[in-house]
Amino acid sequence: MGDASIPLRLHPSGKTIRAEPGVPLIEALANAGIILDAPCGGEGVCGKCRVIVREGAAAPLAAERRLLSEAELKAGVRLACQTKAVRPARIEVPELSRLAEFHQILSGAPNHHRSTAIDAAIRKQHVELAAPSRDDDASDAARLERAIGPFEADLRVLGSLPGRLREARFCGTAVLAEDRLLDFEPGDTRGQSFAVAVDIGTTTLAAALVDLVSGEELAVATQLNPQTRFGDDVLTRIQMAAGDGGLARLQASVLEAVDRLIESLAASAGIQRGEIYEVAFAGNTTMQHLLCRLDPRCLGEVPFVPAVRTALRFPARELPLKIHPSGRVYVLPVIGGFVGGDTVAGMLTTDLADQPGPTLLVDVGTNGEIVLSAHGKLSAAAAAAGPAFEGARITHGMRACAGAIERVTFDGTLAIETIGRAAPLGLCGSALIDLAAILLDFQVISPEGRFRRSSDLPPGTPDDIRQRVSDDPQNRAFLLVPVEQSAAGQAIVLNQRDIRQLQLASGAIRTGIELLLSRAGIEPGQVAALYLAGGFGNYIRRAKARRIGLIPPSIPGDRIRYCGNTSLAGARLALLSREKRREAERLAARTMHIDLAADPQFQWTFADAMIFPSGDQ
Amino acid sequence: MGDASIPLRLHPSGKTIRAEPGVPLIEALANAGIILDAPCGGEGVCGKCRVIVREGAAAPLAAERRLLSEAELKAGVRLACQTKAVRPARIEVPELSRLAEFHQILSGAPNHHRSTAIDAAIRKQHVELAAPSRDDDASDAARLERAIGPFEADLRVLGSLPGRLREARFCGTAVLAEDRLLDFEPGDTRGQSFAVAVDIGTTTLAAALVDLVSGEELAVATQLNPQTRFGDDVLTRIQMAAGDGGLARLQASVLEAVDRLIESLAASAGIQRGEIYEVAFAGNTTMQHLLCRLDPRCLGEVPFVPAVRTALRFPARELPLKIHPSGRVYVLPVIGGFVGGDTVAGMLTTDLADQPGPTLLVDVGTNGEIVLSAHGKLSAAAAAAGPAFEGARITHGMRACAGAIERVTFDGTLAIETIGRAAPLGLCGSALIDLAAILLDFQVISPEGRFRRSSDLPPGTPDDIRQRVSDDPQNRAFLLVPVEQSAAGQAIVLNQRDIRQLQLASGAIRTGIELLLSRAGIEPGQVAALYLAGGFGNYIRRAKARRIGLIPPSIPGDRIRYCGNTSLAGARLALLSREKRREAERLAARTMHIDLAADPQFQWTFADAMIFPSGDQ
């Protein structure tokens, strides 16, 4: 940090952080580990990254004048993506603007029919060696090899071996990753062996601390992918990576968050970072590229070629990650430019290739991935759903955190539930689907997605629906929460543009499902099972997902299964089983990667999929 | 190499080597890896080391006038052991003058009885790849693998592959080290591939730039090992390494010198450091440990256990060395705690294991190493000669650089020759041996190494000897250069303590030779050949070495062969041939490491070896 850096004192913690002059506060705060909500990618559009600058505020910019009231501006409220560090300042970050905590359930071992024996890549072997003597002057490496078999080792491990062996009086525990020696520890440490599984989502990171001896998950933690401040979708980041220093910044950004996750996992389980020997990562192809600083430029253009598809194994210090000094990284193999290690992890977790009937895996996220296993063949496609399901690009959308409406029901009157029972701030993906399904049922929106005027609603439409329909032809909308009940400072509505965003997101995934089935000659009704994956997947109500056509309505609802964060679960399997790693490689290699956009049927199918199903299915 | 060094341009290669002023051409050429046949040991007797000095020839000396015809002298023919580097010259080395055994792949000339094809670990392959298309969306790594076969690669290489392939428009040259991809270069760069061989001596570093395409040595350079400032012997450095930060300082010290050598080699050959893909190192076990920062603590105590004995291969950035960013390091395997990669390199260079009769390899340096190949078995031992042969621990000793007396002769009067024809500053190892031999011949010193009083000298002792013997009982000494002719500011003498140092150094090596022979049941007279290696080995006059008992006098003089810096030559072989690397591993593994000090005969043999031979052998 240069000498010209500017001190920013945080209220109420009293902590001072420093920022380079001209850096937007959102970045300065992110660098200090304080991640703000910015679904618009820091473009001054969503107005969510509010901070209060108590002293040293700069004059508000146009975007701030547009999104903030006069009273707010006077009180020092600013948008952290717009206002820049220009002079020493005192800053308060309202809890609401933070994204430190997520409401997300990480299921441990979902849908696991077959239990896998633990056969981790990291293994420990306790040995007692004879000390060197004039009759036995074998090198230290050869002495150890006599006991544990041939191994490879980095220079630093070989270099410290004389000291390690003697500190342990030649009686200790060899730590190996496959056939690579990582350490020689004094005493018998076989009971202590840990690893971390990480799901690198475009929006959210989730990590689990795994006990490699028992196979148990000792702790989990999640956090926002701080790369979101550079843009909420994959393509924006690919473009940024192409710029000068962009890739390095993106990598540093995600690594810093992974570092914090590891710190928090170790702290909550009461172990040392040095006892973590391996970290396994699963994410979409772009996230894995950014993590490993692999040039992602070709993921942004036809035909979306990854740098490498196979699994990666390398020293953790190459990223770097602060775990055991000789710790390792494993990154799952990918299927194609938009079907990544997270999908392979999902296939691994669900045993997708071994299911008896035609089976689908659908991972609903910023990028939706669909895999079909049928007749011994595997095919996969990516659907550019966009971040609507994560609350972005929806007028009052937000991520699934405290204050988010996560459920909307109608039982005579419209009712909402919020996360943390807080006053409502906006709606997250599951509520968006709920509400759209209700509006379709009451014909407030047509199958084509158009808002009807209240006067056009069928007779018998309940008052609590009819009264909420705005008839302003310039801005047709449905009132979900009136201003006086809202914590957002304004009414929470769903408008015509939001419905279009939902149609695009839902239609993209539906198109993927339909095209994969059609190519395999399978009717939706023949699907034996559909696994709904992704952190968000768990909150989607099946009936509603069918109602809005996210899932073909002809797939019976009872064949839809939730399987949670299979990306994280698959990364964990890769830590615990070398056989699962081999299987991941095989799955990635044999899965046919379908480029949906190149399918001649794509346009027609997509156009059809944008139409909401009629209500009688 | 000092700034005063003289350029010598070799014909017909066009290559330029550099020599210190006054150095005989045979030495300058040997330093550059061109070993001439000199069965007389460079004494101007056999006339075999003929070279043609096309420009810059010095006036012929007496020995040359005796052995060469007038027409030859006119044509510039000179004896390389007699004629010295005094001014820039153009030199042609006739094929006939070269020592056949050491050509092998080093020169690439056709008439070798055992030529090894170049099969370097670094290889280049030129490929034209199809650009990705919708029908062919293989990853960049897979695309390249289709053309060159499976490879491994570091993260940074994989990460930059998309950019490298596209900059080259998919048509370029893959650079591999074994099966590891180092780079993909635009265009066809197969003609440009370089590596550096380094001999890490305890006292001196020598490096050669090798063209991996032609096998030629493009430049050589030497420099003092800067670790000498921390102590001139191996044990001092091992002790220093055990202290806080000591190992890191020692490593940094030698790396800095290696860096300078690489810089100077690249500059003199006009290539970029980035075109150097590999560096091979050979040195004694401690030097190799210090280079790689392997904890050397156990090399300083019985039973002298190395951290590792096998060859090491690792990325150059781990040291770090500034060569190609993905460049590699190869370190030769070692035999034991005091018989290192330099000895293995010597065995490789001399084809020691394949010699028909019992053959010795003796490397005279700060640490002397002796290897015996006999009856299909190989045994090796180290002799702690100490630095006397490099001029250290001798009252007026010095290294072989300008001003050092390098030769002492007696032909009625005592005469000296200095390096660079400079005024004498002190005496280096070869002069020490010469002078001791003369003093033994005239009985100035007894076989036990005691100075005699001038009055006790036999009648007929020449005046120029008798007058130089000091009779001061407190400080018996022999005056080599009186103060008025000395550039050292004082008279240059050899005293009783110096003789003791010589006895220890010489006796140590002789003991090693005797014990190895004795264990194999071989009499010295049965030795078919003795290879005298090491930079210094070239300058020892065989008759004198036998006279002082460094070499058992019962080994006939004509069986002693000089083979130059075989450590450097062996490192070079390892760069050029993967088969030679495998052979090095096999040699290191099958050579029995003899701990001389543990031999019950050691004390007696050493005591005997300290006695100078009587003069009649």
Cβ <8 Å between A305 and B162: yes
Q: A287-299 burial by CB neighbour count: b if 16+ within 10 A, else e?
A: bbbbbbbbbbbbb
> Which pLDDT score is estimated for B595?
85
Residue A108: band (very low, low, confident or very high) from pLDDT cuts 50, 70, 90: very low
Cβ <8 Å between B305 and A141: no
Phi/psi of residue A147, each to 5°?
A: -90, -35
> Which pLDDT score is estimated for A348?
95
Beta-carbon pairs below 8 A across chains A and B: 138
Average pLDDT of span A519-534: 92
- Whether chain B has a CB inside 8 Å of the CB on A188: the answer is no
> Which pLDDT score is estimated for A99?
45
> Which pLDDT score is estimated for B108?
30
Average pLDDT of span A275-299: 97
> Which pLDDT score is estimated for A418?
87
Residue of chain A minimizing CA distance to B157? A294
Residues pairing with B261 in the sheet: none
Residue A100: band (very low, low, confident or very high) from pLDDT cuts 50, 70, 90: very low
Above 0.85 for ipTM, yes or no? no
Cβ <8 Å between A154 and B297: no
Q: How far apart are the first and last CA of chain A?
A: 61
> Which pLDDT score is estimated for B138?
93
Cβ <8 Å between B140 and A304: no
Residue B43: how many CA atoms within 13 Å on its side-chain side?
Answer: 16
- Whether chain B has a CB inside 8 Å of the CB on A136: the answer is yes
Residues pairing with B311 in the sheet: none
**Of B423, B469, B475, B421, which Cα lies nearest the Cα of B444?**
B469
Cβ <8 Å between A318 and B155: yes
Residue of chain B minimizing CA distance to A289? B159
pLDDT beneath 70, residues of chain B: 1-3, 31, 33, 37-41, 95-116, 535-539, 616-617
Residues of B in contact with A309 (CB under 8 A): 138-139, 141-142
Among A140, A143, A281, A299, pick the best mutation site for testing chain B contact (most B Cβ within 10 A): A140
> Which pLDDT score is estimated for A35?
62
- Whether chain B has a CB inside 8 Å of the CB on A21: the answer is no
DSSP structure class, residue A24: B
Cβ <8 Å between A163 and B295: yes
* Residue A183 confidence (pLDDT) above 90: yes
> Which pLDDT score is estimated for A511?
94
Residue given tokens 């991935």 in the structure block: A369
Residue of chain A minimizing CA distance to B159? A294
CB count in 10 Å sphere of residue A509:
28
Cα B595 to its chain centre, rounded Å, is: 24
* Residue A98 confidence (pLDDT) above 80: no
> What is the least distance, in Å, from the CA of B162 to any CA of chain A?
6
> What is the least distance, in Å, from the CA of B297 to any CA of chain A?
7
Burial zone of A411 (CB within 10 Å; 0-12 exposed, 13-18 middle, 19+ buried) = exposed
Among B146, B155, B330, pick the best mutation site for testing chain A contact (most A Cβ within 10 A): B155
- Whether chain B has a CB inside 8 Å of the CB on A293: the answer is yes
Residues of A in contact with B159 (CB under 8 A): 292-295, 307
Q: How far apart are the first and last CA of chain B?
A: 40
> What is the tens place of the pLDDT at every residue in A55-82?
888 889 888 998 888 888 998 999 988 8
- Whether chain A has a CB inside 8 Å of the CB on B145: the answer is no
Residue of chain A minimizing CA distance to B597? A134
Domains of chain B: 6-98 (3.10.20.30), 122-186 (3.10.20.880), 194-331 (3.30.420.480)
Cβ <8 Å between A158 and B294: yes
Predicted TM-score (pTM) of the model is 0.80
Higher model confidence: residue B185 or residue A454? Answer: B185
- Cα distance between residue A266 and residue A314, in whole Å: 22
- Whether chain B has a CB inside 8 Å of the CB on A256: the answer is no
Cβ <8 Å between B159 and A295: yes
> Which pLDDT score is estimated for A2?
47
Average pLDDT of span A193-216: 94
- Whether chain A has a CB inside 8 Å of the CB on B150: the answer is no
- Cα distance between residue A551 and residue A558, in whole Å: 12
Cβ <8 Å between B312 and A155: yes
Q: Across the interface, which of B134, B302, B305 has its CB nearest the CB of A140?
A: B305
> Which pLDDT score is estimated for A115?
46
Residue of chain B minimizing CA distance to A161? B307
Cβ <8 Å between A297 and B162: yes
- Cα distance between residue A565 and residue A369, in whole Å: 13
Give, in order, the Cα–Cα distances in Å from B310 to each of A177, B23, B581: 21, 38, 11
- Whether chain A has a CB inside 8 Å of the CB on B302: the answer is yes
- Whether chain B has a CB inside 8 Å of the CB on A294: the answer is yes
Among B158, B301, B309, B585, pick the best mutation site for testing chain A contact (most A Cβ within 10 A): B158
Among A129, A134, A137, pick the best mutation site for testing chain B contact (most B Cβ within 10 A): A137
> What is the least distance, in Å, from the CA of B292 to any CA of chain A?
7
- Residue B12 makes CB contacts below 8 A (sequence gap 6+) with B92
Cβ <8 Å between B295 and A141: no
- Whether chain A has a CB inside 8 Å of the CB on B593: the answer is yes
> Which pLDDT score is estimated for A15?
75
Pair A54, A25: CB distance under 8 Å:
no
Pair A358, A522: CB distance under 8 Å:
yes
Task: Kindly state the tokens that stand for A36.
Answer: 């703000």
